[in-house]
Chains A and B, each alone.
Chain A
Amino acid sequence: GQSLEQPSEVTAVEGAIVQINCTYQTSGFYGLSWYQQHDGGAPTFLSYNALDGLEETGRFSSFLSRSDSYGYLLLQELQMKDSASYFCAVRDIYNFNKFYFGSGTKLNVKP
């Protein structure tokens, strides 16, 4: 099975840098993805790490270490609009069409 753990809530100030961690226990997966969801909205895809290391997309970066069963999403130059929930997710290696999501981290950005 798959299990992904995230902190439930993180608070940071505008302009700061924040890291959202995701630790996992899986029987095998293709890679680690991150999604953003604003209150009442649909999750939207942010990034994907197929291999270990850092992937950068603008202000957002994502990191994966398979040996440590750990990944994180790094948000830089925080803006008020970044206040949302962030979910890590994996795609099952034994069933390509099955995804597992973490419980999500609510990010509160304060002025």
Chain B
Amino acid sequence: DSGVTQTPKHLITATGQRVTLRCSPRSGDLSVYWYQQSLDQGLQFLIQYYNGEERAKGNILERFSAQQFPDLHSELNLSSLELGDSALYFCASSALNEQFFGPGTRLTVL
């Protein structure tokens, strides 16, 4: 158990819908990272937050957005969902650059 929690574990939705994925980092970790793992693209970095502020941005689509709240939990919002957004979404928190991954949310868009 990494200490990072993600909810929900599974999410099935339809194209065009909007979903919110939630992540709680390990106690004391200020950084939260979001990653997408799809079958054809592998793991890709989406976005990083540090203590509530956006720190770095990767291959995140404009339809996706994220935020980190004062209690340090983070949410990833995915809107206008497409079939290709089906993937595993991981968050990770870090201390001294070592990353601790959550169990992931498996999103299926039908």
A and B pair up: no
